[in-house]
Amino acid sequence: MANVVNVQGKDIAIENLVPLRVRDINLKSHAGFARIVATIKAVGLVEPVCVYKKNGKYSILDGYLRFKAFEKLGVRKVPCRVFSNKKNKETYTWNKKVSRISAVQENRMLQKALKTVAEPAISGTFGLRSIKYRLAATVIKQLHLKVIKVLDDNFMSRKCAAEFTYVKPKRQLQILREMQKNNDYSRSFARALVIKTPESLRNGEKKKRKPWTQDPTKGKELVAKLEEAQKSHDFYTTTYHRYSTDLLKTCSYVGKLITSKKVKKYLKDKFPDVLACFEKIVLETDGRKID
């Protein structure tokens, strides 16, 4: 039977809250902290601070930045979720494994919210001057469906995806395959591939306003990065094929070795572990058992 976790909601005086550890964060420049402060000002606390009672105080399990935000705002009572005993505290799972929403999912949510809430109100809630740049509706409309899928799966950043808009959908798919082959979804790699795109596959409607399209030195650096990635890929591909060939040859030699009755008898008498290992190799390679 699963253990029942006893948790209760309670407003706790801020002086009774104690962080488990002091985090080395510059709160003046921390963007996440600024957003939390803005959100609390606009709509209040969305997620209570998680705590457990110890020696008359409440230790913070999760919610350090929210706690500091309440301190900054001068709020004396903090909404908390109290884990009632030590066992509950030890089984608490941190939210570091929470799946973050992708740029595409965020775009859908913002578009839906704008139907009922004004843009300035949403921006203020997140502590931003504007959210227009985060909507990126024009960018998504110019992307190949497979590129959108990769963006939706959080493999590439919004800025990286924007580089795809400089080329036609056919070339976007080619670039995506190259990035998948090299397992490199960086913006710089995407730029390098865009630079190498023939004029016929470029997006003629896209204005070349970015500095990297006008700076020959930057262009050479990006092309050099692409060439280096291609050389690296070729090296590992060649090495893999060579090792695979050598391994198959070795398996063949082992098979011939243990089919010799004299050799097999000698190994069985002197080195049974080695013989067992050889037989396993042949079985896994050829799917046959050596009698």
pLDDT reported for residue 12: 92
For the domain made up of 7-97, give the CATH fold.
3.90.1530
Is the model's pLDDT at 274 over the cut of 90?
A: no
Domain-by-domain residue ranges, the chain? 7-97, 99-135, 242-286
Residue for token pair 């008359």: 56
Is the model's pLDDT at 99 over the cut of 60?
A: no
Q: What angle do CA 34, 35, 38 make, to 5 degrees?
A: 90
Instruction: Write the burial class of residue 155 (CB in 10 Å: 0-12 exposed, 13-18 middle, 19+ buried).
Output: middle
pLDDT digits (tens, 9 = 90+) for 220-250: 777 777 778 878 878 888 888 888 888 888 8
- 4 vs 207, residue with greater confidence: 207
Q: How far apart are CA 11 and CA 79, in angstroms?
A: 4
* Contact yes or no for 33/25 (Cβ under 8 A): yes
